[in-house]
Structure 1
């Protein structure tokens, strides 16, 4: 398999999932701003969307969109429990969380804050109104829980911890939500999560 990624972006969640499963893959670094790969190649020739993650599967098919990629990886070793069994209620709950993180957290909060196309007023509104509403909801759900799903650590947790890791750069003080801060610290203590973040942070610094 081959993972096309940009350090410390949403593709980090897929790296975490691969490490959780001890699943080998070749990693290709992409600059999502210039759409150039580390070897100078045009990323649009690989993925016409120009976004990450993109995964060249075992079957040789290019799979895109984070929630789909994460579920594919999880299903490589279903016995490890990164995704509940297909057809179960728990699997639909996983998809519920993946969709929520993708749309309500990743895109609504962080895409707005980090995109140069959005006006300053929109970014302020997101920091002061949107993000608190989302984190209040997540805090209430995670209060007394170790993971998003009662089945244990899943790819939804890999995705959520990836987004929470952006809070500092986005000007969001996660300390306002002790439950979320404790959750992030707990997730970072997992060997696969810590390894993925450490490696990608070093790569990100080299890109700067």
Structure 2
């Protein structure tokens, strides 16, 4: 398998999951600013939409959209318990988390990274993000991870997206549960391996 990623982008989520799963893969940098691959070719030839992540399977099939990719990866290694079994209430709860992170958090960060966003508009996505993080903080009370005591693919996604907060001037120190959670996730060997591979850790 090949994972096309951009350092620190949302593609860090499946990068973490691949390390957690122990699946063989090749990580290929596809920087979102240049869209130029290491061999000099244009990433748009791989993904016409231009964004990451993209997972290319050994048979050439290409998957896009992080929440779909991480569930596919989890299902390849059921013994790792990275996602509950399909058809269960727990799986639907996992999908609820993935959808929440994608639509309520990931999407809201977009304008904050866009230099063309008017300064007077920034307060709207910031307010939404902080209110949603307050709710997540409450959901983490008494739990090690989003789904309970077991790390899941939703944790790889939330860890990635919440990690963007300092880069756009958002302070998470008021969310004690999220702060402790992020420390737990960051200490996982697979998370450290993915972050080192992307140059995010020395």
The aligned counterpart of 2:143 is 145
Partner SS, residue 28 of structure 2:
strand
The aligned counterpart of 1:15 is 15
Partner SS, residue 36 of structure 1:
coil
Partner SS, residue 86 of structure 1:
coil
Provide, for residues 88-110 of structure 1, a one-character-per-residue CA deviation record: whole Å limited to 9, x for no partner. Answer: 001111111001101101111x1
Q: Is the 8 A contact 1:5 1:28 kept in 2?
A: yes
- 1:20-31 aligned within 5 A: 20-31=20-31
Partner SS, residue 185 of structure 2:
helix
Partner SS, residue 27 of structure 1:
strand
Q: How many residues align?
A: 202
Gaps of 5+ in 1: none
CA distance in 2, matches of 1:182, 1:56: 34
- Which is further off, 153-162 or 38-47? 38-47
Partner SS, residue 160 of structure 1:
helix
The aligned counterpart of 2:103 is 103
CA distance in 1, matches of 2:17, 2:166: 23
- In the TM superposition, structure 1's runs of 4+ consecutive aligned residues that sit over 2 Å from their partners are 124-127
Q: Is the 8 A contact 2:143 2:149 kept in 1?
A: no
TM-score, normalised to structure 1's length? 0.92
The aligned counterpart of 2:55 is 55
CA displacement at 1:202 relative to structure 2: 4.7
CA distance in 1, matches of 2:5, 2:199: 13
TM-score, normalised to structure 2's length? 0.95
RMSD after superposition: 1.6
The aligned counterpart of 2:177 is 179
Q: 1:69 to 1:172 in 2, by over 3 A?
A: same
Q: Is the 8 A contact 1:18 1:73 kept in 2?
A: yes
More helix by share: 1
The aligned counterpart of 1:168 is 166
CA distance in 1, matches of 2:154, 2:79: 17
